[in-house]
Chains A and B, each alone.
Chain A
Amino acid sequence: EFVLTQSPGTLSLSPGERATLSCRASQSVSSDYLAWYQQKPGQAPRLLMYGASSRATGIPDRFSGSGSGTDFTLTISRLEPEDFAVYYCHQYGSSGYTFGQGTKLEIK
């Protein structure tokens, strides 16, 4: 069974700080098949990144993605108040979509 594990479960930071979120796959995947989402309370998820490192339309450049193989990272260079939310990674494969369990980014 293919699994995506995100860490940490909760990340407490202050506005202006740098956030690094991890997504680890149980087996190697192509970065082309990896995406990231942001979800705020009461809202649908919003697409941030696809192909591991390409920003979706309208996403500010403080968001960046990287990684290959089994380890992928979403970085937010300088946190803005609106960035505090839950972040999910997803992989698309032969069994459809698999989501990570999410990382909650909270204000310290």
Chain B
Amino acid sequence: QVQLQQWGAGLLKTSETLSLTCAVYGGSLSYDYWNWIRQPPGKGLEWIGDINHSGNTNYNSSLKSRVTISVDTSKNQISLKLKSVTAADTAVYYCARGMAALAARPLDYWGRGTLVTVSS
């Protein structure tokens, strides 16, 4: 059973860099794609980007200039950095696995989410 455990700072000030890590247990990063998704309070889901074990990334074009997703295969972890945050980046951030074997890359395992609040 794959489990995703995520952590990171929950309170940031405007212009700081958001940094989150997601550890994968019970599975390997060697397959599939590993995603970050966020959800502002009371709103819908927004895909941030993904990465595979080789470090190949894809980003949401609206966030691309501020986002970096990286992988550490030795620790079975992925990380998210989002720079120059504003209040609009306040959200619950999730890591999730996208199944590479299926065209829809459905997100079948999710972390519990980390609420990140940006204040001035």
Whole-angstrom CA separation of A92 from B96 in the bound complex: 14
Of A11-19, A20-28, A44-52, A75-83, the segment with at least 4 beta carbons within 8 Å of chain B is A44-52
A-B contact pairs, 20 of them (CB 8 A): A33-B104, A35-B104, A35-B107, A37-B45, A37-B107, A44-B94, A44-B111, A45-B94, A47-B106, A47-B107, A50-B104, A51-B104, A57-B108, A88-B44, A90-B45, A92-B98, A96-B50, A97-B37, A97-B105, A101-B44
Determine the chain B residues whose CB is within 8 A of the CB of A88 once the complex forms. Answer: 44-45
Interface residues on A, range: 20 to 34
Chain A residues packing against B (C-beta within 8 Å):
30, 32-35, 37, 44-47, 50-51, 56-57, 88, 90-92, 95-102
Name the interface residues of B98-115: CB closer than 8 Å to any CB of A.
Answer: 98-99, 102-108, 110-113
Chain B residues packing against A (C-beta within 8 Å):
35, 37, 44-47, 49-50, 58-61, 94, 96, 98-99, 102-108, 110-113
Whole-angstrom CA separation of A33 from B106 in the bound complex: 9
Least CB distance, B96 to chain A, in whole angstroms? 8
From B44, B46, B106, residue with most partner A Cβ within 10 Å: B106
Known contacts A44-B110, A44-B113: A92-B44 contact under CB 8 Å: no
Determine the chain B residues whose CB is within 8 A of the CB of A44 once the complex forms. Answer: 94, 96, 110-113
Whole-angstrom CA separation of A102 from B60 in the bound complex: 19
Whole-angstrom CA separation of A34 from B98 in the bound complex: 13
Known contacts A44-B112, A44-B113: A98-B47 contact under CB 8 Å: yes
Counting residue pairs across A and B whose Cβ atoms lie within 8 Å, the total is: 69
Q: Is the CB of A95 within 8 A of B105?
A: no
Whole-angstrom CA separation of A84 from B5 in the bound complex: 27
Least CB distance, B80 to chain A, in whole angstroms? 15
Q: Is the CB of A97 within 8 A of B103?
A: no
Q: Is the CB of A51 within 8 A of B103?
A: yes
Q: Is the CB of B110 within 8 A of A99?
A: no
Determine the chain B residues whose CB is within 8 A of the CB of A45 once the complex forms. Answer: 45, 94, 107, 110
